[in-house]
Structure 1
């Protein structure tokens, strides 16, 4: 794979012991029906119809062979079905659900270059249709649905280790993109979370080769401005960021230099009332390359998979993440974890320490 912004090696993780949380005693990990194709650094997007769209990703060793294919997972049957073919092959792209049930897919690495192309998937027809291109080509960015139905596309890298501060807004009513100004800092491999009041918190990320930032900022759709907020306690990139049910935001693991040798097991929680990050519960294992491998379950519990051979869950109010019964069995990076409406979660794909993607999938469910 050429000029691709992934760090391609992993190391064994240390293990810490925590008392089981109430959720950990009820949930377990088991094999699910495999995907139709191996995928890593793909996207998994929950649709309004209750399905999960799995799009793109790399399918061959060393993350060569970028996918144009997509598939739909149906939680009711536990099966995957073809979902048409994207107009462009993509890995490290972004995807976001739209209010009418369609899914926006944007940017990524095509196998030859970073792309500015955009397309929209319609579950009713199972087809992808082109949309106007972004002003800025980008991979490893974020796409955050806003309360008014638009999608904020922020940051990402225009080339390996060259993050951008540029942002754009996709309007599903017109099918067009418009510039949304510049962030306070360029970011790639960062986190972006919509807050209860409709604003968006953007946090951490790669700002230069082997260098992550601790900075965070807030985008206000009403004013169109980006303003700084409190900084992380540690610089992080290739992290996960999630909105908790109480309105706070959890930032999980990552790496201060975007490399596996300095993976973090710590978390931080940002409180919108204070604008500050405070220490959060510890993970059992350090992890990174997990941006899409974390989810908040219907119960409010936080699930984290990827970059370790097991799955951890945190129940709010308990001191640490705990490990679920059952295992994935390999340290899979750039996998996805998607919360399902019935309380379960789907974990899919990723690549192993040899950089070989898998089609395997797992479910997290009550025993």
Structure 2
């Protein structure tokens, strides 16, 4: 599932699976009370999806799996607790990433379509609700990470593509192109990537049962 910190301080949890059954339910956690309340259901059950908080406060949910990979997307409005559908991605995908760029657009990268891992990327424009394709990554990958650097570029690390990857690449929003960068010392997927105050990226753990960490 996903968990997103809303501007009102509450946390929105969406979807997931309770074993083998995908969920469309969503709920809100209120830190002031420590309690959970249900909110509107998504239109589609999904897990392995993403949730991104847009500049207008709405939450964009993309893709995922629901017994098959999805290209659908929908928006949650915290002021009403309701969901509305928005433009669909050009490609079905789960295990992808979604990053909010400085221009307000959302960059979706990679993922898996149920058959093969993907190197494609696309951009969501909140002002139109439409998607446009952008440059492909040099390596297909899913269960990778994507981190926005202080210079506005997006660093993608690791992932799975028929085996763990140690490769990394950079997306430049000004050109829509990718360039490879230094590889990690350890191949990994299902890992984490955190932007530190000194502007370095801490990559930690991942599959399978890794305790190593490294800095970019």
In 1: Cα distance, 2:85 partner to 2:212 partner: 41
CA contact (8 A) 1:49 1:101 kept: no
In 2: Cα distance, 1:73 partner to 1:172 partner: 26
For residues 12-60 of structure 1, what are the alpha-carbon distances to aligned partners after superposition, in whole Å with 9 as ceiling and x for unaligned? xxxxxxxxxxxxxxxxxxxxxxxxxxxxxx001112222211000011x
For residues 196-229 of structure 1, what are the alpha-carbon distances to aligned partners after superposition, in whole Å with 9 as ceiling and x for unaligned? 1111100000011xx1111000111011111111
**Residue 155 of structure 1: CA displacement?**
0.5
Aligned to 2:148: 194
In 1: Cα distance, 2:77 partner to 2:131 partner: 18
Q: Normalized against structure 1, the TM-score is what?
A: 0.58
**Residue 144 of structure 1: CA displacement?**
0.7
- Among residues 191, 195, 199, which one is paired with 1:239 in the alignment? 191
CA contact (8 A) 1:166 1:181 kept: yes
**Residue 250 of structure 1: CA displacement?**
0.8
**Residue 75 of structure 1: CA displacement?**
1.4
Aligned to 2:79: 124
In 2: Cα distance, 1:177 partner to 1:45 partner: 22
Aligned to 2:10: 51
- Among residues 21, 24, 27, which one is paired with 1:65 in the alignment? 21
Gaps of 5+ in 2: none
Gaps of 5+ in 1: 1-41, 256-261, 271-367
Aligned to 1:153: 108
Q: Of the two structures, which has the highest relative contact order with CA contacts closer than 8 Å and spacing of 6 or more? A: 1
**Residue 233 of structure 1: CA displacement?**
0.2
Q: Is 2:99 the counterpart of 1:140?
A: no
RMSD over equivalenced CA pairs, Å: 1.0
In 2: Cα distance, 1:114 partner to 1:190 partner: 17
**Residue 79 of structure 1: CA displacement?**
1.4
Aligned to 1:263: 209
**Residue 173 of structure 1: CA displacement?**
1.1
CA contact (8 A) 1:217 1:227 kept: yes
In 1: Cα distance, 2:124 partner to 2:152 partner: 16
Count of aligned residue pairs for this structure pair: 216
In 1: Cα distance, 2:198 partner to 2:53 partner: 22
**Residue 82 of structure 1: CA displacement?**
1.3
Q: Is 2:44 the counterpart of 1:92?
A: no
SS at match of 2:174: coil
Q: Normalized against structure 2, the TM-score is what?
A: 0.97
Larger Rg: 1
For residues 327-358 of structure 1, what are the alpha-carbon distances to aligned partners after superposition, in whole Å with 9 as ceiling and x for unaligned? xxxxxxxxxxxxxxxxxxxxxxxxxxxxxxxx
